[in-house]
Amino acid sequence: MIRLRDIAWPLALFALLVLGGGFAIWQGRALELPAPEDAPTVLHPELFQAARPLEPMLDLDPERVALGRLLFSDTRLSADRTMACVSCHDLGRGGVDGRQFSIGIGGAVGGINAPSVLNSGYGFVQFWDGRAQTLEEQAAGPIHNPIEMGSNWVQVLERLRADPALVAAFERSYPDGLDAASVVDAIASFERSLVTLDSRFDRYLRGDASALDAREIEGYRHFRELGCTSCHQGILLGGNMYQKFGVLGDYFAGRGTTQADLGRYNVTGREEDRHVFKVPGLRNVALTAPYFHDGSATTLEQAVTVMARYQLGRTLSSAETEAIAAFLRALTGQLPAGEAP
């Protein structure tokens, strides 16, 4: 016979997860709990874990990183020689350009907010819609995009191969020398090196209780108890899953929507992926305004308010909002030595 006391604690645990865990499972998409092996939207279940301090990427070839650093600022990658990767991913501004939408060649305006390049090596996919599985795929994208760099490999390689010193450096670092594969590998190697270490939150996670003040700790408590960690968890506090923008409310209702608003649907064509995006990591989020794929939130407080309403179905008090924003500002880390401040 099954006794009540034998099932009481499982029932209590279930209630805690559903009522207090921030919707730990939504339409089969694993959130705070480890993802099942067959979950289609989670590529790296091992990334689903409690927050932990950032660590540098290991086994990066320093010569390839150096080549990538050069190319990251090289305008020869763009058709009109006006744009470089750094044009939209300014390392001194959190790895973004601070615009709602970036400006490409000929003054063309993009349709989606530029994500930060910092810590991008820890992301499970690249771009808001996840259309690039690797940083190498991502690096090639803007080169061919007609409103970003508007170039092609024939043009880019012709220009780069006219630089004897660059050709020699690539021949030292890559068996096949300077070609499309080595160019994107070098850029991706540099991007993987851009891990922002030693934030105050990292120090707190390592046991330094004084690294965060009382208000920031209160914000972290709200962040967990409200359910923000359902999507923003792991080493980046995000960046390891997809989620619908508007789980508990229609964010797009009454708005003039664009193709970019379709999110993952643009890649898969599946109706369930409409308005689904890669969850952004929150590292250095205080530096990367404006927020969301549409750049519609100009402050952290505004972003927190919108997330609470549409993802959690909550209306926060001003004190809760300000405390969470204070915690988020403690996520700013330090760029590797030698990079922009």
Residues identified as active-site: 148
The answer to whether 152 and 144 are in contact (CB under 8 A) is yes
> Residue 220 is inside which H or E element, if any?
helix 214-225
95: exposed, middle or buried (Cβ count in 10 Å: 0-12, 13-18, 19+): buried
Q: How many CB atoms lie within 10 A of CB 61?
A: 14
Bridge partners, residue 277, by sequence? 243
Burial class (CB in 10 A: 0-12, 13-18, 19+), 44: middle
**Element spanning 228, H or E:** none
Check: CB of residue 182 under 8 Å from CB of residue 174: yes
**Around Cβ 278, how many Cβ atoms within 10 Å?**
25
Q: Are strands 242-244 and 25-26 parallel, antiparallel or unpaired?
A: unpaired
Which residue do the tokens 């921030």 mark?
22
Q: 3-state SS of 18-64?
A: HHHCCCCEECCEECCCCCCCCCCCCCCHHHCCCCCCCCCCCCCCHHH
